[in-house]
C-alpha cells in the first residue's frame, strides 16, 4: 500500500499507523524529520524489507513499534515465539536501524546496541516454511500422520 500522499508533509515528525491492515507492500515517501513511527497490529511479515525501506526514507527515526505484526516475534501474540526470538528480533532491528532509541515501547540499552554492532547481521529470525507430504491434507507438524510408505518416500527422494 502506498502512502505517497504523505509526501506533502515533509516536516511530519510522528506517524501512527496502527490497526490499518498494512502489509509488506507498504511504501512510505521520504519523511526526513519523522522520528516516531508506530505500525502496531498490521499485517507486516517481511521484517528485513520493511527495515531497509525505513532506513532509506526515515533517516531521523528514533522510535519504532511493530507489536502485533508477524514480523515482530512477540511471545504474547504467538505461542510459537519465545523471549529468545524477541531478543534476536531486537538485535536485528537495531543492526538495520542503529539510531533507534526506543523499539516496541522499550528503551534501547547500550548492551543491545553493542550486540547489534557485533551480531546483528546474523540475527535475522528465519523459520522454514511448512511443507506438506502426502498426509491426506494434514500438516505433519499439526499432528497429521503420514501414510507414505518408506519405499514411496525413498523413491520420491531419489528424484530430488
- pTM over the 0.75 mark: no
Give the model's pLDDT for residue 128. 44
Residue 118 C-alpha from the chain's centroid: 20
Alpha carbon separation from 158 to 140, 149, 152, 153 (Å, rounded): 21, 14, 10, 9
Boundaries of domain holding 148: 128-160
- Both 68 and 116 in one domain: the answer is yes
Share of the chain above pLDDT 70, in %: 71
> How large is the average pLDDT for residues 5-27?
96
Range in 60-69, 85-94, 96-105, 139-148 the model is least confident about: 139-148
Alpha carbon separation from 143 to 63, 70, 85, 147 (Å, rounded): 41, 23, 24, 13
- Both 91 and 21 in one domain: the answer is yes
- Both 94 and 113 in one domain: the answer is yes
Beta bridge partners of 75: none
Task: Specify the residue for cell string 519523511.
Answer: 31
- Both 109 and 141 in one domain: the answer is no
Where does the chain have alpha helices with state H? 47-57, 83-96, 110-119, 150-158
In three state form, how does the secondary structure of 99-136 look? CCCEECCEECCHHHHHHHHHHHHHCCCCCCCCCCCCCC
- Both 93 and 159 in one domain: the answer is no
Number of domains in the chain: 2
- Both 94 and 134 in one domain: the answer is no
> How large is the average pLDDT for residues 140-159?
40
- Both 28 and 105 in one domain: the answer is yes
Amino acid at each position: 500500500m502506498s502512502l505517497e500522499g504523505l509526501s506533502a508533509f515533509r516536516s511530519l515528525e510522528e506517524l501512527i499507523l496502527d490497526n490499518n491492515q498494512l502489509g509488506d507492500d507498504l511504501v512510505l515517501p521520504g519523511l526526513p524529520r519523522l522520528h516516531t513511527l508506530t505500525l502496531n497490529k498490521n499485517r507486516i511479515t517481511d521484517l528485513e524489507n520493511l527495515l531497509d525501506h525505513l532506513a532509506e526514507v526515515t533517516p531521523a527515526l528514533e522510535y519504532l513499534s511493530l507489536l502485533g505484526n508477524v514480523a515482530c516475534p512477540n511471545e504474547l501474540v504467538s505461542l510459537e515465539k519465545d523471549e529468545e526470538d524477541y531478543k534476536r528480533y531486537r538485535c536485528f532491528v537495531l543492526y538495520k536501524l542503529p539510531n533507534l532509541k526506543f523499539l516496541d515501547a522499550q528503551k534501547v540499552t547500550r548492551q543491545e546496541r553493542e550486540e547489534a554492532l557485533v551480531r546483528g547481521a546474523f540475527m535475522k529470525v528465519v523459520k522454514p516454511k511448512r511443507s506438506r507430504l502426502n498426509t491426506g491434507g494434514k500438516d505433519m507438524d499439526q499432528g497429521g500422520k503420514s501414510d507414505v510408505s518408506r519405499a514411496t518416500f525413498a523413491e520420491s527422494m531419489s528424484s530430488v
